[in-house]
Amino acid sequence: MTAFGDFQTLCSQVPSYTWCNLFYRQLLDKSPSTLTGVSSNTISAPVGVNPECGIPKVGTNGSLGNIANIVVCGLSIFLVTALIILTGRRKAAVGRVELRIFFGLYLLTLPFQLVTSGAFITQGSTALVALTAIHAGLVATLFWALLGNAIVATQVVEDGTLSSIIPFSIFGVAFFVATTYISFDVALTVTQTFGPSNPPQALSSIPLFVLTSIWPGAAALIYFGIMLYIVLGVLNEVRPVWYYVLSAILFVLSQLAYFLLNKVICRGSSAKVDGSFVATILETAAVGVLYLAWKGITEEDWDGDLYYQ
């Protein structure tokens, strides 16, 4: 029976599930006999642990790796770069600095996602473990930055000042360091604190599960709750609400695509592509709509002193 913190079902049922890279290395070191099927050959093994469907490593029988998601990640990098530039031009807008940090973090996750889920690097290698651990740290930090933007939007501290940037950065560094360290420990089992999984086939790590699965969802939910309160309760406006609602819908759809459509697309394409590219498109769209929502509540022709300086 699957227990809280177990990744076994995710690693076998969800193609290209990035955090499985950490458990593959753990099993390779501690219990290699549990790696069966396509995972038994490290040279060609796809992302995942004994996955029912997985895209083989680049070069295996002509495989291009997770090519669809690779292309989408590349295109998303240009879009997010444009968002950072556009945000920087709105000099008077509240939360400009903090929002640029959020966009910058999302931009950083894209090349890491491209590599860690792209079936480029040999499974079980130290390089893949290191890149995946850093990727996990960036994702946890990204969702702190999202929540931090909501806190800044309440104007509990003045945005763009040291009183805002210092705690914003301290919490961000804490999330990054803690998640990256835990990820390394899960993969390499340097200590007995966060690994190895017991039993090995359960692929269990409650801290990693919380930081990569529970925390992002909770942070996003709290963020949207705070922003809806600000827009409706403080600014008494309706139009920006629809942008926030649309962004939330796109984010939810991206998760559904990743966890529900992923294997369907993988099987339908004979493991040529999977649904991760659909999830990335929807995630990037959600980020783009967040910019439109933020732009809407910082327009100069609105008489909300709370949101215009």
Choose the weakest-confidence range: 205-219, 239-253, 288-302.
288-302
Give per-residue pLDDT as tens, 265-291.
999 999 999 999 999 999 999 999 999
Alpha-helical regions (H) of 64-125: 67-89, 96-116
The first and second tokens of residue 29, run together, are 């070191």
Residue 273 maps to a domain: no
Residue 238 maps to a domain: no
Residue 196 maps to a domain: yes
Q: Helix or strand or coil: residue 93?
A: strand
Q: Residue 306 and residue 92: Cα distance in Å, rounded?
A: 12
The total number of structural domains in the chain stands at 1
Q: Helices 126-153 & 162-188, crossing angle to 10 degrees?
A: 150
- Position 36 scores a pLDDT of 95
Q: Helices 126-153 & 20-30, crossing angle to 10 degrees?
A: 150
Domain holding 51, by residue range, is: 8-218
Residue 167 maps to a domain: yes
The first and second tokens of residue 209, run together, are 């599960």
178 burial level (CB within 10 Å; 0-12, 13-18, 19+): middle
pLDDT bin (cut points 50, 70, 90) of residue 306 is: very low
Residue 26 maps to a domain: yes
- Position 42 scores a pLDDT of 93
Rg over alpha carbons for the chain, rounded to the nearest Å, is: 20
- Position 300 scores a pLDDT of 43
**Which residues, 6 or more positions from 155, have their beta carbon under 8 angstroms from its beta carbon?**
94, 306
Residue 55 maps to a domain: yes
Residue 71 maps to a domain: yes
Give per-residue pLDDT as tens, 257-269.
999 999 999 999 9
DSSP letter assigned to residue 121: S
Q: Helix or strand or coil: residue 196?
A: coil
When pLDDT is averaged across residues 150-156 and rounded to a whole number, the result is 91
Residue 256 maps to a domain: no
- Position 274 scores a pLDDT of 96
